[in-house]
């Protein structure tokens, strides 16, 4: 896993670059691998980088073409010169490599992925018709659409992400949260909330329900940004909390529930408790009590590369469906404050009401870089930002 570095309060990958910056220029493709050369040319034609008559070659400035794992500045891709111009596109070797469900493949236009190979969307940068082309699996049932497997007798949408080694479809919308019943709140607090002096805080990281035009509620997938839909926040134990949400949407969902986003000071008081501890459970870090660390970044695991372009795709719905990633609310029973708020450290970043944009507590990959435990704060994004790691919980005035 690439190390992480702190850049103005943002979690940013520090990636290792082997060799010099690579440029692309019209030369004869290496004869050692004609099939790979053809695939490379097809990819760049699909990206609109070169014309059909262009030939593509690589030059790392040192006479070799060794692989590059990423770029040191964490940018989305190297600036690759094409002829007399230049354009930002992903590193070539990294862009061509892909993997689906542990099966390695190559990024190709779907029209070229035929025969015993099948294209899968969501694993390649560039146009939507450039997809990860892999050998067809022997188990054809796992290649069937989610709804087809459900029609065959299983409720795939209700069951959530696959747990049997099946591939995750980034366009599917699992609906693991179907119960909207909150437990009674503490005295003077709405349902699902713990009392902290003069205010109340959700006991759990929020899940969302879709509010229909007639006021009824429908399940919403916690792996998808809600866009402009009307949503309502709920605080319920044992659900998959909502990631992929920005600060504006989180505030709106809290208000629809008769609550609001927590003020920064309220969030800190709720996490640190009456004794003002650094961690929700006390003054000394206890690794693993909260969902507070992961050995490999989920994007590296999912895309099968450390190339820098993967960090421009961290809204992919499959990231929080990987094993040992996002936990259900309250699953880590020791990750609780003395006043009964769970998961305030790790699991998901949590938006607060700071106008400039702040999310707190860290997430399941890191709870150290931008501060330990309750002191963790990311301030580099405004409230329009969302990715797989951003969640929230609500507060309210005590009655």
3 state SS of 399: coil
Residue (of 197, 289, 285, 206) closest to 245 by Cα position: 206
- Spell out the alpha helix ranges (H) of 53-144: 92-96
pLDDT digits (tens, 9 = 90+) for 161-194: 444 345 799 999 999 999 999 999 999 999 999 9
DSSP code of 49? S
DSSP string, 257-292: TT-EEPPHHHHHHHHHTTTT-SBTTBSS--TTSSS-
Distances (CA, A) of 292 to 119, 161, 172, 243, 328: 35, 21, 27, 16, 13
Structural domains of the chain sorted by starting position, each given as residue range(s) with its CATH number in brackets: 3-135 (no CATH), 193-291+326-397 (3.90.1580.10)
Q: How far apart are CA 35 and CA 273, in angstroms?
A: 62
- Convert 40-61 to b/e letters by CB count within 10 Å (16 or more is b): bbbbbbbbebbeeeeebebebe
Contact (CB, 8 A) for 386 and 246: yes
Q: What's residue 80's pLDDT?
A: 28
Task: Say whether 345 sits in a helix, a strand or coil.
Answer: coil
292, 298 contact by CB (below 8 A): no
How do the pLDDT tens digits run along the chain, 399 residues long?
444 444 444 444 433 333 333 333 333 333 334 444 444 545 444 444 333 333 333 233 333 333 323 323 333 333 323 333 333 333 444 447 777 766 777 888 888 888 777 888 877 777 778 888 887 643 333 333 333 333 333 343 444 544 434 579 999 999 999 999 999 999 999 999 999 999 999 999 999 999 999 999 999 999 999 999 999 999 999 999 999 999 999 999 999 999 999 999 999 999 999 999 999 999 999 999 999 999 999 999 999 999 999 999 999 999 999 999 999 999 999 999 999 999 999 999 999 999 999 999 999 999 999 999 999 999 999 999 999 999 999 999 999
CA-based diameter of the chain, in Å?
A: 76
* Buried b / exposed e along 143-168 (16+ C-beta atoms within 10 A): beebeebeeeeeebbeebbbeeebbb
Burial profile 313-351: b = 16 or more Cβ within 10 angstroms, e = fewer: bbbbbbbbbbeebbbbbbebeebbbebebbbbbbbbbbb
| pTM, rounded to two decimals | 0.64
């Amino acid at each position: 896993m690439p190390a992480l570095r702190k850049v103005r309060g943002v979690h940013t990958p520090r990636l290792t670059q082997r060799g010099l910056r690579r440029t692309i220029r019209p030369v004869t493709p290496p004869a050692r691998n004609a099939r790979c050369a053809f695939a490379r040319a097809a990819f760049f034609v699909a990206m609109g980088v070169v014309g059909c008559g262009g030939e593509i070659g690589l030059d790392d400035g040192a006479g070799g073409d060794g692989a590059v794992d990423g770029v040191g500045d964490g940018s989305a891709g190297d600036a690759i010169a094409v002829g007399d111009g230049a354009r930002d596109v992903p590193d070539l070797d990294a862009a061509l490599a892909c993997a689906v469900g542990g099966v390695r493949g190559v990024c190709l236009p779907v029209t070229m992925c035929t025969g015993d190979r099948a294209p899968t969307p969501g694993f390649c940068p560039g146009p939507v018709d450039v997809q990860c082309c892999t050998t067809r699996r022997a188990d054809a049932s796992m290649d069937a659409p989610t709804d087809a497997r459900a029609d065959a007798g299983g409720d795939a949408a209700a069951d959530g992400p696959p747990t049997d080694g099946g591939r995750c479809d980034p366009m599917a919308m699992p609906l693991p949260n179907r119960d909207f019943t909150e437990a009674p709140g503490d005295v003077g607090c709405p349902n699902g909330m713990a009392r902290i002096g003069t205010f109340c805080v959700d006991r759990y990281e929020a899940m969302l329900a879709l509010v229909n035009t007639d006021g009824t509620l429908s399940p919403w997938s916690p792996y998808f940004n809600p866009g402009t839909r009307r949503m309502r926040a709920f605080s319920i134990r044992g659900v998959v909390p909502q990631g992929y949400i920005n600060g504006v949407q989180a505030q709106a969902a809290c208000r629809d529930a008769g609550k609001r986003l927590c003020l920064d000071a309220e969030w800190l008081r709720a996490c640190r408790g009456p004794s003002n501890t650094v961690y929700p459970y006390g003054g000394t870090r206890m690794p693993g009590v909260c969902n507070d660390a992961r050995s490999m970044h989920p994007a590296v695991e999912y895309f099968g590369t450390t190339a820098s372009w993967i960090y421009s795709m961290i809204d992919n719905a499959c990231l929080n469906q990987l094993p040992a990633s996002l936990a259900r609310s309250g699953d880590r029973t020791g990750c609780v404050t003395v006043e009964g708020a769970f998961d305030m450290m790790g699991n998901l970043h949590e938006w607060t009401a700071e106008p400039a944009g702040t999310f707190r507590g860290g997430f399941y990959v890191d709870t150290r870089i931008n501060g330990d435990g309750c002191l963790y704060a990311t301030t580099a994004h405004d409230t329009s930002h969302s990715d797989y790691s951003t969640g929230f919980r609500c507060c309210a005035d005590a009655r």
